Amino acid sequence: MTSNWSITNKPEFQALLQEKDRLKNQSIIKLFSEQPNRANDLTIAQAGIELDYSRHAIDRQGFDALFKIIDRSDSHRFANELLGGSNVNFTEKQPALHSLFRNRSSEKKHIVVSEIQQKMAHIVEDIVNGNKKGFTGKAFTDVVNLGIGGSYLGPKLVFESLSNYRNHLHCHFVSNLDPEDLKATLLTLQPETTLFVVCSKSFKTEETLINAQNAKNWLMKAGAKDLENNFIAITENTKAAQGFSIPAENCLLLPKEVVGRYSIWTSAGLTCALGIGWKSFNELLSGAEAMDSHFKSASPNENLPVIMSLLEFWYRNCWNTQVHAIIPYSHNLRSLPSHLQQLVMESNGKNALASGEFLESDTASVVWGTDGINGQHSFYQFLHQGTVLCPIDFILPLSPISGDSNQHSKMVSHCLAQARALMIGRSTDESYNYLVKKGLPEKYSRDLAPHLRMPGNRPSSIISFESLNPSVLGSLLALYEHKTYFSARLWGINPFDQWGVELGKTISENIQTVMFENEDCNELDPATHRLISKWKKTTLAD
Ligand code: F6P
């Protein structure tokens, strides 16, 4: 069902490269005078989200060539195959079912999805209302999510983002194998009122299982006789969870067809559903569903995920950019860059085609970023004057979720100012005039001007919405999921597997036998052996 060709071999790609050559020295700001309605023409609002993609190095003719890269039917076909349950995960020969969990309107609900959601709803109601209690009969005050990767980043992001929708439950997220993570979290918690949610699709992830074991020991030490009250497992591997002594009724299924980094909509979202309540969690699903419908029905040139994916293709494959920054002007969305880093890089950091051949063109960029205001005082110098071209997605809530709207407005002004400064830049002459006007001596101004020069022409999108609420957040996250999926389909790779993470895990097991069981392992290289010996000397000396 998937392609075994490289999109860069298409004749349309050669035409697109010519467009890039034509536009490579074109000033973006000049494109606005050439296309008077550009700001409106290149803005689309759908499902609560507005994409302004006017600050990009591409004009009408360039867009025409870019859209020709896909066949007109591609976007509908790709969306239908994902949302209709085809085997889009072609290496594991299965569908990717995350969207099913947010399909609120379907009359015939998938039976497994319904069962999971009903069980989840009961758990959430019981715990939030205080009906389900801890091992001494007290209601829960705290929930600790133990999980990593997709079993951590999405739930943490949603809980952080929706701070004004929270109830009395304090949610905590522990992912690190470093014992300091769990230790610091447990410091202020009481065992009798703490619920642990072990979120691990495989129930094999070493980091999560060690944290779960330590949490179990902490509870037992405080007098718990079993895990019946204070532990819930979210997993595909319920047998292993039960082997860990979590009773079957406390296990929520995470189906194998749901990939970790796309799993926030499913049982993997339990911790944040506990923190924001079932109603708000459902609004999150509704927002995502609105984006699903948009992805499925909109024509390519009005389709937000498709446009974002094609712009990624434009820069990555025609301009050879290596990086892509995600910069939210929102404290609550501060974890969005990390979530999208896993979503994009674990999904599309690949180069094998369905045919087994290797793709000659580039795939995913390095995705990075932090919240905008802090970024301005850290890496923006690099964005403005560095030698790397880095397309940016600014994420901008127009109104605050609470508090001082004046203060929030200042943040909006910073975001707009940065997007403009990156686009227009400042020439050496302008810099010189600016310095002279400031009263600096002529000679010094001349010497200093090159250091103030900013090349400009640095592209960005502004993705804005009225204010952050569960529905908008759902739509935003689904937008990036579909954009990532669409890019994978363009390149012909599978966004739903992650074979690349396996080898490191296996080697770590081998290394542990050498470290802890003193086994010889001739397969290891001298550099690894040297550090193992050093580690042995250091730890044995203690
Ligand atoms: O190692 C990568 C990975 O498999 C991710 O894809 C996943 O989100 C994470 O580990 C956690 O996996 P699990 O939920 O099975 O513990």
Question: Cα(482) to centroid of ligand 1, in Å?
Answer: 20
Contact (CB, 8 A) for 7 and 361: yes
Say yes or no: CB of residue 208 within 6 Å of ligand 1. yes
Q: Whose CA is nearest to atom 1 of ligand 1?
A: 501
Cβ density class 331-342: b for 16+ within 10 Å, e for less: ebbbbbbbbbbb
> In this predicted structure, what is the pLDDT of residue 49?
98
Say yes or no: CB of residue 201 within 6 Å of ligand 1. yes
Active site residue 505: yes
Burial class (CB within 10 angstroms; exposed 0-12, middle 13-18, buried 19+) of 75: buried
Best mutation site among 91, 92, 145, 151 for ligand 1, i.e. most ligand atoms within 8 A of its Cβ? 151
Choice among 19, 289, 346, 481 that is catalytic:
346
Within 162-205, residue ranges assigned H as helices are: 179-186
Using CA atoms, how far apart are residues 78 and 459, in angstroms rounded to an integer?
Answer: 27
Question: Cα(55) to centroid of ligand 1, in Å?
Answer: 36
Instruction: Return the CATH architecture of domain 98-284.
Output: 3-Layer(aba) Sandwich (3.40)
Residue reference for tokens 């966004």:
495
Best mutation site among 205, 253, 341 for ligand 1, i.e. most ligand atoms within 8 A of its Cβ? 205
| Three-state SS at 253 | strand
Choice among 279, 505, 534, 536 that is catalytic:
505
Contact (CB, 8 A) for 51 and 461: yes
Q: In what order do the strands lie in the sheet with 231-235?
A: 170-174, 142-146, 194-199, 231-235, 251-253
- Smallest CA-to-CA distance from 271 within 200, 183, 361, 343 is with 200
| Whole-structure pTM value | 0.97
Question: Which stretches does DSSP call E strand in 212-298?
Answer: 231-235, 251-253
CATH 3.40.50.10490 matches 7-71+298-424+459-497: yes
The single-letter DSSP state of residue 421 is H
Question: Cα(246) to centroid of ligand 1, in Å?
Answer: 20
Choice among 108, 225, 377, 437 that is catalytic:
377
Say yes or no: CB of residue 202 within 6 Å of ligand 1. yes
Tens of pLDDT along the chain (542 residues)? 444 568 888 999 999 999 999 999 999 999 999 999 999 999 999 999 999 999 999 999 999 999 999 987 888 999 999 999 999 999 999 999 999 999 876 655 688 899 999 999 999 999 999 999 999 999 999 999 999 999 999 999 999 999 999 999 999 999 999 999 999 999 999 999 999 999 999 999 999 999 999 999 999 999 999 999 999 999 999 999 999 999 999 999 999 999 999 999 999 999 999 999 999 999 999 999 999 999 999 999 999 999 999 999 999 999 999 999 999 999 999 999 999 999 999 999 999 999 999 998 999 999 999 999 999 999 999 999 999 999 999 999 999 998 789 999 999 999 999 999 999 999 999 999 999 999 999 999 999 999 999 999 999 999 999 999 999 999 999 999 999 999 999 999 999 999 999 999 999 999 999 999 877 767 899 999 999 999 999 987 75
Number of Cβ within a 10 Å radius of residue 516:
8
Question: What is the CB-side half-sphere exposure of residue 322 using CA atoms within 13 A?
Answer: 2
Say yes or no: CB of residue 150 within 6 Å of ligand 1. yes
| Three-state SS at 52 | strand
Question: Cα(501) to centroid of ligand 1, in Å?
Answer: 9
Best mutation site among 89, 92, 145, 148 for ligand 1, i.e. most ligand atoms within 8 A of its Cβ? 148
What ligand 1 atom has the least distance to the C-alpha of 207?
16
Say yes or no: CB of residue 338 within 6 Å of ligand 1. no
Active site residue 346: yes
> In this predicted structure, what is the pLDDT of residue 2?
44
Total count of residues recorded for the chain: 542
Question: What is the CB-side half-sphere exposure of residue 389 using CA atoms within 13 A?
Answer: 18
Using CA atoms, how far apart are residues 164 and 166, in angstroms rounded to an integer?
Answer: 6
Active site residue 183: no
Chain-centre distance of CA 341, in angstroms?
5
Torsion region of 457: left, alpha or beta (phi above 0 gives left; psi -120 to 50 gives alpha)? left
Say yes or no: CB of residue 151 within 6 Å of ligand 1. yes
Best mutation site among 198, 263, 494, 501 for ligand 1, i.e. most ligand atoms within 8 A of its Cβ? 501
Helix then strand count (H, E) for the chain reads: 21, 11
Question: Cα(172) to centroid of ligand 1, in Å?
Answer: 19
